[in-house]
């Protein structure tokens, strides 16, 4: 498979910061001893990702944007006091959190309770290492990048468990139990959904996936809409976003595993929740939405702008669901993972494998990809519809309005026809 050439090869091309950064790294590699450059790259990558991504995106767009958007959805203004349009609100919050006393309850496991926020933060930064922000703008272009992402994203669950267990609080323990149970369940459909993508593109490297999508001028979301839906639901369950935020369900178990945290220890959890959501969005944008490529637009617009835009598109959907949907119960969530998502993901996998085999074995034209896309979109809708009907989903039987009677009296029996399904 011939992959297309990169945007430009010139280091001075300002549209693509990656050339410059790569130039510096490769130059340094020639001068310095071999090992140092890894450390240097890590440092530069950390600082760059912090400056480019974490600071503006997370603090300003993440915290401010989320609060502002949710505010508008809830018919209120959101932050509008600190700085112009309230833009400095996240910074003010951070200063407030740092000044606050970080309480540790009596009887808590102090060491574990201190370690948990730190362990929670580290993977959020590590996740961005494999996200390609441009043709060469990638910190670690490793081959099993997709597996790396899955592996690292399973670490915060441990941190959340440590936080919940160490606090010596029953609500926290509830949260810890819930998050552990849920992450095990949702890892399965998540991996199965991504497996379909790997099957089709034939690689586990994120950069190559982007190049594949660029080469064929089709995004994987069109080829595998079902995989995106499953990925989105599963990842929002792992990230504890509503409708699946049962591990910190505020109306049930106060704040779940965060109940006893305060001050900056809580702030780290809160900030990195947004960090994980952004990482998951960036990953989804890379795998499903073509990453930094955009049907040729990436020749004119800096690719890192494109992927950040796509990331925030996904992040907006996270915010949207948070502002709209109620929360599911834990048994319903589990049932949804095992009874609905797992079979549908398997179905998707079988379909994708068949198409892949047809495409490769029969040496079909590239235009067949578009046929596959149409087929898969319909198959996705059909699979969701059919499987939910099979599981007993009958929306037409739901009562919509209360019955009306004009005379007071005793019990009014429910007519047989009006008895709901499920």
Partner 1 sequence: MTDAIKTEPFVLNIGPQHPSTHGVFRIKVTVDGEKVLDAEMVMGYLHRSMEKLAEERTYTQNIPFTDRTDYLSSMANNLGYCLAVEKLAGIGVPARGDAIRVIMAELQRLASHCMAVGAFTNDTGAWQTPVMWAFREREKILDIFEMTCGARLTCNYMRIGGVAFDLPAAFEPAVRKLLRELVPFIDEMEGLLVGNEIFLARTRGVGVLTPEQATNASLSGPLLRGSGIAWDLRKADPYCGYEQYDFDIPIGYQGDSFDRFIVRIEEMRQSIKIIKQALDGLPGGPHSTQVPLALRPPQGEAYARVEGSRGELGYYLVSDDGPSPYRFHIRAPSFINLSALKEMTVGGTVADAIVVLGSIDVVVGEIDR
Partner 2 sequence: MPTREWTGEEVAAAAERLVPGSVARTTAGACYLKAEKLVEAIEALRSSPDTDFVHLTNLCGVDYWDHFEVVYHLQSFVRNQICCLKIEVWDREKAVAPSVVPVFHGAWMQECEAYDLLGIRFEGHPNLHRIFLWEGYPGWPLRKDFLSMPGGLQPGLNEFAGTARRPEPATRLVQ
Partner 3 sequence: MEGFGVNFAFWTLSAVTLGAAGGVVVSRNLLHAVLFLILAFIGVAGFFVLLSAEFIAMAQVIIYVGAISVLVLFAVLLTPRAGRDNGETAMALPALLLAIAVATVFIFVVNDTNWTTVAKSPELATAELGTALLSTWVLPFELASVLLTAALVGAIMLVRSREEEAEDALA
Q: Which residues bind partner 3 (CB under 8 A)?
A: 33-36, 38-39, 109, 112, 142-144, 147-148, 150-152, 154-155, 157-158, 161-162, 165, 176-177, 180-181, 183-184, 187, 202-204
Smallest gap from residue 62 Cβ to partner 1 (A): 17
Q: Are 295 and 213 in contact (CB under 8 A)?
A: no
Angle between helices 206-216 and 145-153 (to 10 degrees): 130
Per CB under 8 A, 410 contacts partner 2: yes
**Binding residue (CB under 8 A) for partner 1 from 30, 34, 106, 419:** 419
Work out the burial of residue 287: count CB atoms within 10 Å of its CB; fewer than 13 is exposed, 13-18 middle, 19 or more buried: buried
Q: Look at the block and give the residue holding tokens 């990453």.
A: 291
Per CB under 8 A, 35 contacts partner 1: no
Binding mask 68-107 for partner 1 (x = CB under 8 A): --x--xxxx-------------------------------
Q: Are 11 and 23 in contact (CB under 8 A)?
A: yes
Buried b / exposed e over 313-337, threshold 16 CB at 10 Å, is ebbeebbebbeeeebbebeebbebb
Q: Give 14 or 412: the residue with its C-beta nearer to partner 2.
A: 412
Report the site for partner 1 in 345-384 (rule: CB under 8 A): none
Q: Give 2 or 418: the residue with its C-beta nearer to partner 1.
A: 418
Please name the helix (run of DSSP H) or strand (run of DSSP E) that holds residue 215, with its range, or none: helix 206-216
Per CB under 8 A, 250 contacts partner 1: yes
* C-alpha closest to that of 331 among 181, 174, 170, 183: 181
Q: Give 41 or 228: the residue with its C-beta nearer to partner 3.
A: 41
Please give the Cα distance from 34 to 250 (Å, whole number): 51
**Number of shown-chain residues binding partner 2 (CB under 8 A):** 4
Work out the burial of residue 67: count CB atoms within 10 Å of its CB; fewer than 13 is exposed, 13-18 middle, 19 or more buried: middle
Per CB under 8 A, 386 contacts partner 1: no
Please give the Cα distance from 294 to 281 (Å, whole number): 17
Binding mask 297-336 for partner 1 (x = CB under 8 A): -------------------------xxxxxxxxxxx----
The one segment of 156-164, 220-228, 362-370, 397-405 that binds partner 1 by CB under 8 A: 397-405
Q: Alpha helices of 49-169 — where are they, by DSSP H?
A: 66-73, 89-99, 110-127, 145-153, 155-166
What is the binding site for partner 1 (CB under 8 A)? 70, 73-76, 170-171, 174, 177, 242-243, 245-246, 249-254, 322-332, 393, 395, 398-414, 418-420, 422
What is the binding site for partner 2 (CB under 8 A)? 408-411
């Amino acid at each position: 498979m011939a992959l297309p050439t990169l945007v430009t090869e010139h280091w001075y091309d300002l549209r693509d910061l990656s050339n410059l950064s790569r130039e510096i790294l490769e130059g340094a590699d020639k001068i310095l001893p071999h090992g140092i450059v890894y450390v240097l790259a890590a440092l530069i990558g950390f600082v760059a990702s912090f400056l480019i991504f974490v600071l503006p995106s997370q603090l300003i767009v993440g915290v401010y944007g989320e609060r502002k958007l949710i505010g508008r959805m809830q018919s209120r203004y959101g932050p509008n006091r600190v700085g112009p349009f309230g833009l400095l609100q996240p910074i003010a919050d951070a200063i407030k959190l740092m000044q606050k006393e970080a309480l540790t309850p009596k009887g808590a496991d102090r060491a574990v309770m201190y370690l948990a926020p730190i362990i929670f933060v580290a993977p959020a930064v590590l996740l961005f290492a494999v996200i390609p922000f441009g043709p060469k703008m990638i910190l670690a272009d490793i081959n099993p990048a997709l597996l790396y992402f899955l592996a690292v994203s399973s670490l915060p669950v441990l941190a959340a468990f440590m936080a919940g267990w160490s606090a010596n609080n029953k609500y926290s323990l509830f949260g810890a139990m819930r998050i552990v149970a849920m992450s095990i369940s949702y890892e399965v459909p998540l991996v199965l959904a991504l497996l379909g993508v790997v099957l089709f593109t034939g690689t586990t490297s994120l950069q190559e996936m982007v190049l594949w999508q660029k080469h064929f001028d089709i995004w994987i979301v069109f080829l595998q809409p079902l995989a995106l839906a499953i990925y989105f639901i599963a990842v929002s369950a792992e990230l504890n976003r509503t409708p699946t935020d049962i591990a910190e369900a505020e109306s049930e178990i106060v704040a779940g595993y965060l109940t006893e945290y305060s001050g900056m220890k809580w702030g780290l959890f809160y900030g990195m929740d947004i960090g994980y959501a952004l990482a998951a969005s960036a990953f989804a944008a890379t795998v499903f939405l073509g990453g930094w490529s955009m049907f040729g637009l990436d020749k004119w617009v800096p690719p890192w702008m494109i992927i950040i835009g796509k990331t925030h598109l996904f992040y907006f959907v996270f915010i949207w669901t948070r502002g709209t949907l109620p929360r599911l119960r834990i048994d319903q969530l589990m049932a949804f993972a095992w009874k609905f998502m797992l079979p549908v993901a398997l179905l998707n996998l079988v379909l994708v494998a068949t198409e892949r085999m047809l495409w490769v074995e029969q040496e079909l034209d590239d235009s067949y990809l578009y046929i596959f896309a149409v087929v898969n979109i319909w198959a996705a809708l059909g699979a969701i519809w059919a499987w939910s009907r099979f599981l007993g989903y009958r929306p037409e039987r739901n009562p919509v309005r209360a019955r009306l009677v004009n005379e007071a009296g005793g019990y009014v029996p429910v007519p047989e026809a009006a008895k709901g399904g499920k």
